Amino acid sequence: MSISLEKIDLLMERANVSYKEAKETLERTEGDLLEALIILENNQKTRGPEKSKSCKNKEQADEFKKKANSFFKDLQETRFTIKNSEKKALDVSLLTASVITLVTMPVSIFVLAIPYLFGHKIEIEKSKSKSDSTPEE
């Protein structure tokens, strides 16, 4: 069987080899492309099977889900408080405050200015999780 440039290119594409290695392997196998790939695989010259696009997309979707869950967990743990010197007038999670602000957008901008007029402070702070806190003695 003849060894053509197309076979060499195909072998180079499927295996991680140079022109010289592809030609020599095809000569040893008398032009049999499958045998050449098997020999190169035994010599650990071939690339591993590539992941399909659907597998890559699933991994990306899983990664996105993890990041989104982490983001919303952080929003839930962060507190939005309105307080004066004596007591807290409002204490909700930042997630709740964000949803309310988005739903009532035009009104919420004016509502957020009202506490300042009455001497209140607006604070956004990350609440301490159970793993972050240390026991007090």
Which tens digits make up the pLDDT trace of 37-81? 888 888 876 665 555 566 778 888 999 999 999 999 999 999 999
Give residues with Cβ within 8 angstroms of 40, minimum separation 6. 11, 15, 17, 21, 25, 46
Dihedrals phi, psi of 80, to nearest 5 degrees: -110, 115
Residue 65 DSSP symbol:
H
| Residue 56 within any structural domain of the chain | no
Block residue for tokens 């592809």: 22
Mean pLDDT of the 118-122 span? 88
The pLDDT, as a whole number, for residue 99 is 92
Q: Specify whether the CB–CB gap between 22 and 4 falls below 8 A.
A: no
Q: How far apart are the first and last CA of the chain?
A: 85
| Residue 76 within any structural domain of the chain | yes
Q: Are residues 76 and 113 in the same domain?
A: yes
Local confidence band at 106 (pLDDT 50, 70, 90 cut-offs)? confident
For 10, the domain range is: 5-42
| The total number of structural domains that make up the chain | 2
| Residue 107 within any structural domain of the chain | yes
Task: Round to whole Å and give the CA distance between 102 and 82.
Answer: 18
